[in-house]
Amino acid sequence: MNVGIEHFLTVGALLFCLGLVVALSKRNAIGVLMGVELMLNAVNLTLITFSRFSVSEQPVTGHAFTVFVITVAAAEAAVALALAVSVYRNRQTVNVDQINLLKS
Number of CB atoms found within 10 A of residue 40's CB? 20
pLDDT at 29 over 80: yes
- The answer to whether the CB of 84 falls within 8 A of the CB of 94 is yes
pLDDT number for residue 104: 54
Whether 98 has a pLDDT exceeding 60, the answer reads yes
**Residue 54 neighbours by CB under 8 Å, 6+ apart:** 62
pTM across the whole model: 0.81
Q: How far apart are CA 33 and CA 29, in angstroms?
A: 6
pLDDT tens for each residue of 45-82 = 999 998 888 887 877 888 888 999 999 999 988 998 89
Whole-number pLDDT of residue 83: 84
Per CATH, which fold does 5-91 belong to?
Answer: Helix Hairpins (1.10.287)
Residue 37: per-residue pLDDT: 92
